[in-house]
Amino acid sequence: MKRWSALPSVALAAAMVVGVAGCAGGSDDPEPPSAQSPSAPRQSESSGGDDSEPEEKGALAQVKGEGGIVLKVTSAVRNDGGFLTLEGEVTNGTGKAWTAANWRGDERELVKNGGSIAGATLVDNKGKKKYLILRDTEGRCLCTRFQGLLSGDTAEWFAQFPAPPLESTEVSFQVGSMPPATIEISEG
């Protein structure tokens, strides 16, 4: 597991400023390092309406969509420094190779992230605020970059967001055309 807490403080501060500015309604900048990792787990919703997956032991949430892609969130930890780290895994059940191209987001800057989870968002319904993935000073997301998954393969992923206020303990996570997954935040 790679942890981004070792990033130089200047780069982290700049990434947080860019991420928070992006949350205010402006455009986003991206970055996907090629690190992946998972952690601890519950369950949520699934593709196209009410197609819920049964709760998997240890998963905070699991959703199914995009022709057989299964996304699990196994950890959502509020870290010192004001950010939230999500970890999980994605499994390709499509029957063909998958590249995560539509998970990188629609913004021009996000194209540099390739097949990544850069387009993911968090929504704090209680605080009525949307959070975008943090980016470094070069616009690359603080998230996993996928090299592609063959059918049946599973890969670990992570993504870092600005942390919602302490009173917000539940958020909705969404990426691409996957259904939203409601997850509970734990304190790190």
pLDDT at 163 exceeding the cut of 60:
yes
Contact 2, 111 (CB under 8 A): no
Q: In this predicted structure, what is the pLDDT of residue 136? A: 85
Q: Is 2 in a helix, a strand, or coil?
A: coil
Residues 172 and 136: their CA atoms lie apart, in Å, by 23
8-state DSSP, 21: H
Q: In this predicted structure, what is the pLDDT of residue 175? A: 92
Q: In this predicted structure, what is the pLDDT of residue 111? A: 67
pLDDT at 157 exceeding the cut of 90:
yes
Q: Tell me how many domains the chain contains.
A: 1
Q: Is 107 in a helix, a strand, or coil?
A: coil
Residues 177 and 155: their CA atoms lie apart, in Å, by 19
Residue 17: pLDDT band (50, 70, 90) is: very low
Look up the domain containing 39 and give its range.
Answer: 4-187
Q: In this predicted structure, what is the pLDDT of residue 110? A: 66
Enter the pTM of the model: 0.68
8-state DSSP, 101: G
Per-residue pLDDT tens for 74-123? 999 999 889 999 999 999 999 999 988 788 877 766 666 777 888 899 99
